Structure 1
Amino acid sequence: MAEPERRPRAPRLALAALRYRDFRLLILSTGTLQLGIWSTLVTSGWMVYHLSDSSFQVGLFSFVSSILILITTPLSGYLSDRGKRRLIMIGTQSILIGASLILAVLVTTDAIRLWHFFVLGPIYGGSFSMSGPTRMALVHDVVGGKELASAVTLNSITTNVMRVIGPAIGGTLIGFGPEYAFWFPLVAYTVALWPLLLLPLGGARQGTGQNNVFTSLKETIGYLRREGTIGPLIALAFVTGIFGTASLQLLPVYADRVLGSSDGTMLGWLHSSLGFGALLGAVAMSLFGQVKRRGRMFLITVAVYGGMLALLGFTGAFALAVLIMAALGVLTAMMLITNNILIQSHVAGHIRGRVLSIYFLSFSFTNIGAILNGTLAEWFALKTTFLTVGCLVTACAAFVALRSRAVREM
């Protein structure tokens, strides 16, 4: 009797996307880019709070950094579907290098002022929002649908490894001197440019036709309204971005006012715990994430995520805060990986770049939500802020679970 065919082991399935040369180049660039981004996030937030001593200014800085996002993100999706993906990434990477050089020189010469961050913030935000959806679409281009789950998971693992390392390096370098903390991202952004230069031009022209950006955006919104599954998924991504992830941008305030640490050390630990948890979550998803009802798992994860945010507001103990941040990291990885796979598996190819640009807006709107959360924290206690946003996230997940059978059965 013939021996039954053996199924590939989970680790082999998880690493399948690494067989593709272009994916290896892309993930190398993504890793070093994310290293710079997470380091920049910690050091910029710390410096803004150090210069202003105001949680409102921290939130305002995040908001101002998002000014260009409403323009650059849809533009990125439009250009991406017209076959400009590699050029978009090279261009935005070059802009990041220039902006980081200016900031590093200003900090080193002790010429840095609060207004410098409010000028350079939109440049950073616009560059991130241009490259993000393009990188997402390119992942599908280089591996295809068969290895999509492997590629998305590996991409998330890489991002979360950098989420652990980046804040730890940023927080540590602040202790040695802020100038070191601002030169480090410049090096990371420069290294991230090199693999992009080795990628083929590629990127076949998709379905934008002769439409302009505004007509293309209208077409994308119409597609999301007609499509019964992707719309609710993206809506929940916006909820978790604006009211969930945005609240974590108040960690500099939380570390100072609640934990009593103003030198960046505990802040680095909190961010690193979040990243370490996200890494664990991503690895777990790569090994055990082949579930039948990903939609149901996504909804449960979002609901629990909201509960953990509310719990964070009730603790002033550093050890417990670190554990909660790690749990939030696990849940964040599960949410992002599952939602990314669900969207990329169901979206039509001709509109992929534009839909992913709308999805990526949910990450960018984190900065817009930060000013709301910063205002709440300024008017009320941090406990009230975390409790409010946590309950809101959980309620929205429950609403989608009750109203959308299509998402539950995905």
Structure 2
Amino acid sequence: MAGPSRAGEAAPGAFDILRIRPFLVLWLSAAVVFLGVMAQNIARTWLAFELTGSNAALGGVLLSFGVAMLVATPWGGVAADRLPKRLVMQVATLLLVLSSAWIGVATATAVVTYWMLIVAGVVQAIGFALFSPARMALLAELVPRDAVPGAVSLILVNSEVSRVVGPALAGLVIGSFTFGTEAVFLTSAVLLALGIGINLALPPGRRRVDASGRSPLGELMDGLSYVRRRPDLAALLWCGIGVTMAGLPYLAFLPAVASDLFDLGSLGYGLLSASSAVGAVLTGLTLGRRSHRGDQHRLLIVAGAVFGLALAAMAAAPSFVLAVVALVVVGGALLAFQTTSQALLLALSDIEFHGRVQGLVMLSFGAFGVAALPLGILADAIGARWTLAGMGVVVVGIVLVFAVVSRRTRAASRLLDLG
């Protein structure tokens, strides 16, 4: 890993970080992979809604993704610490290619069914479970320590830029062409295959543990024990999982919001998805340029609270324009929350545990998928507006609990340091 900046020097800015060639390769690889995945997600969610017309069915697609993520993600963290990280990313991207190409072919041949979307969600979840911990652990090896927060912001901005371009293009293609849905899936597979080629230019990444000394299960248990011994890490992880589980399922309801509340169909769905991504991109670029020397815990708490409040405001929006404005804030606040959480976890954890800690972080995305089904059923029963408003309130509550726990944990740590 590159060393920290010398004393008296400012942390590298966004453009300085991109001049680090290995990080630039990682950034470009992530950009291509995210674009393919985001377009695929839009097409799969719309296809599920088209096949069933049910919010619960949308939740079921995310549930398949979430359960698989919960099972596979801790092992993805073990793989990131145990194996060359580039190899792990290559295998993961290949799984993502297969999950997209299969549904594209099935749709083109008119044999696609709802259960196929469920299976595709499982395959994609396994790919994510491998890709994300390896990507974040490798990032920490490629840039100076002081540049990690900015690098995390730039990597996460990739996903949000993809959510600007991917959903908008996917929505336009799906709505404009009779072959639109399969075209999105097959193009996604091509983009993901390109990501495999770009990954070849990455360094392999160092192994953090002796594979001959411990079994994968033993390494997994070591990672869990490490987090249990660190209340500061445990509080961060639980807050991230709770906020993501309670708030991120709003993505599953955007098709229903576009179609049922505003009668705008697939085009409205793409625009709603893209609007939250616009806010995230603007926020991520800002975070990538700042020094990150302020109180990161305070930024985390503020960003999480704003995310919950904006989500509730979006639910109450009486017009499509106001919903778009609220979603811009939703996207920006969520990106700030995720960036700050990831940067804090990388800064506070020991480098030999980066992969496993990042694997536990990704449990939040599994939890989001698990929560989507019951929330979808609730939305069918009481309406999407009330469900989304309730999700926002729960997010604010989780953040407030974290604020209290975090203050106590940090105060106890200061007392130990003084002792």
**TM-score, normalization: structure 2?**
0.91
Deviations 1:4-38 (A, max 9, x none): xxx8788x622222232211111111000000111
Q: Are 1:220 and 2:223 an aligned pair?
A: yes
Say whether residues 1:33 and 2:33 are aligned partners: yes
- Which residue in 1 is equivalent to 2:245? 242
* Distance of 1:408 and 1:282 partners within structure 2: 27
* Distance across 1 between alignment mates of 2:225 and 2:188: 39
1:371-398 deviation digits (Å, cap 9, x = unpaired)? 1211110121212211211111101111
* Structure 2 residue identity aligned to 1:318: F
Match of 1:314 in 2: 316
Partner in structure 2 of residue 230 of structure 1: 233
For residue 170 of structure 1, what is the aligned residue in structure 2?
A: 170
How far did residue 407 of structure 1 move? 6.7
CA contact (8 A) 2:245 2:371 kept: yes
- Pairwise CA distance, 1:289: 5.5
- Equivalent residue, structure 2, for 1:65: 65
Moved over 4 A (4+): 7-10, 406-410
Counting only pairs closer than 5 Å after superposition, residues 141-156 of structure 1 correspond to structure 2 as 141-156=141-156
Give the structure 1 partner of residue 130 of structure 2: 130
Structure 1 distance, partners of 2:392, 2:205, is 43
User: Shift of residue 119 of structure 1?
Assistant: 2.0
The 1:14–1:406 alpha-carbon spacing in structure 2 relative to 1, beyond 3 Å, is farther
8 Å CA contact retained: 1:81, 1:208: no
Taking the aligned partners of 2:401 and 2:203, their CA distance within structure 1 comes to 44
Q: Give the distance between the partners of 1:89 and 1:385, measured in 2 at CA.
A: 36
Take 2:218 and 2:358, find their aligned partners in 1: how far apart are those partners?
A: 17
1:293-321 deviations in whole A, cap 9, x for unaligned? 11011111111211111122212410000
Q: Distance in 2 between matches of 1:208 and 1:232?
A: 29
**Number of the residue aligned with 1:200:** 203
Question: Per-residue displacement from partner, 1:37-72 (whole Å, max 9, x unpaired)?
Answer: 111111111000000011100001110123322332
User: Counterpart amino acid of 2:26?
Assistant: L
1:364 is matched with which residue? Answer: 366
User: Could you tell me how far apart the structure 1 residues matched to 2:281 and 2:409 are?
Assistant: 26
SS in 2 for 1:199: coil
Deviates more, 1:57-66 or 1:69-78: 69-78
Quick check: 1:115 aligned with 2:115?
yes
Contact in 2 for aligned 1:77/1:357 (Cα 8 Å): yes
1:325 paired residue number: 327
Q: Which residue pairs with 2:22 in the alignment?
A: 22
**Per the alignment, do residues 231 and 321 of structure 1 end up closer, same or farther by CA in structure 2, a change over 3 Å counting?**
same
CA contact (8 A) 1:259 1:316 kept: no
Shift, 1:180, TM fit = 1.8
Structure 1, 244-253 or 67-76: larger mean CA deviation: 67-76
Q: What is the alpha-carbon distance in structure 1 between the residues aligned to residue 405 and residue 203 of structure 2?
A: 44
**C-alpha separation in 2, matches of 1:92 and 1:325:** 30
Q: Provide the rounded CA distance (Å) in 2 between the counterparts of 1:126 and 1:278.
A: 25
Q: 1:16·1:150 contact (CA, 8 Å) conserved in 2?
A: no
Among 371, 376, 379, the residue aligned to 1:377: 379
Q: 1:8 to 1:141 in 2, by over 3 A?
A: closer
Q: Give the 5 Å matches for 1:336-375.
A: 336-375=338-377
> Gapped runs of 5+ residues in structure 1?
1-6
- Which deviates the most, 145-154 or 228-237? 145-154
For structure 2, list consecutive stretches of 5 or more residues without a partner in the other structure. Answer: 1-7, 414-419
Shift of 1:251: 0.8
Equivalent residues of 1:32, 1:188 under 8 A apart: yes
Amino acid at match of 1:89: M
SS at match of 1:77: helix
> Kindly, what percent of the aligned residue pairs are identical?
26
Deviation at 1:250, TM superposition (A): 1.1
With over 3 angstroms needed to count, the CA separation of the structure-2 counterparts of 1:300 and 1:205, relative to structure 1, is closer
- In structure 1, the residue corresponding to 2:36 is in which secondary structure? helix
Q: CA deviation at 1:155?
A: 1.0
C-alpha spacing 1:228/1:190, structure 2 compared with 1 (3 Å): same
- What is the aligned partner in structure 1 of residue 417 from structure 2? none
Aligned equivalent of 2:3: none
Query: Deviation string for 1:358-379 (max 9, x for gaps)?
Result: 0111123221111121111012
Report the Cα distance in structure 2 between the residues aligned to 1:342 and 1:88, rounded to whole angstroms: 24
**Alignment partners' CA distance in 2, 1:291 and 1:386:** 34
